[in-house]
Structure 1
């Protein structure tokens, strides 16, 4: 016979597992959203850099055609300098954006893996095995949803309590539902 305390511990641990999995899913969605935002920012930066590069190249071409003398050489260097500045800015923006995104994704992925590792290790404990056994027998839903004959639920102290029966002294016992 399973002690009620062990059952409570198993149910509490099973509930914790559910919360950790929900948190893991939330973090994964946040990582995906953050990565999509970073990709959009990098794409916008790239488009702006191409426009600036096109504008700088156009200005350089006009300057080359307008002058035949020493001004021609001077404008050519100005255009090349602008082109190099644009290339350096584009490369730096891409590098720092990519690095920041990778570091954030790596940290969040590591945290998710740690949470799943914790959940998996709990599932291999005696309490986790008992909870799994209850689930295989169909009893876990009965316990967590308070669906037994004559069982009732009440809201107490911010939680829902299941009252399955009264003991011989008339005391009612129960457990908190997840």
Structure 2
């Protein structure tokens, strides 16, 4: 509100300046007296113009200050609104991402639970018990990865096979069976 009043005061000063300029021009045209009178009149007019110029300068400074204040205020509001929009966008993204993540996690958890149930069911079979016994002895990796001493992987027909071979001491090695 103060800015608008300052702006109105500045505009009123400009109007006053215009009226004073019109009056000054009128006085200049009517002055046709002798040189001394003219000099005195010019001195008076010069003082009036200086006063009017000071008023105009003051009014223009007030108007400029009001414009700067208005620009700052506009920039502040624009920045604040942009920040709020970004904040709302991040909040919405987090909310929807959280929901999607929860749904996906639950779906993957149910799938894993089904797989665990199947694995637990197989572990109770005789084959599962034998595999568990091999693992307890540390031999399950030897069998499944063909890493035992005297054994090697041979690729045939696009498939890997694990074969025994004679080592440097002409021996074939194996592993313990549970």
Query: TM (normalized to structure 1)?
Result: 0.44
Query: Which of structures 1 and 2 has the larger relative contact order (alpha carbons within 8 angstroms, sep 6+)?
Result: 1
Greater Cα radius of gyration, structure 1 or 2: 2
Query: TM (normalized to structure 2)?
Result: 0.44
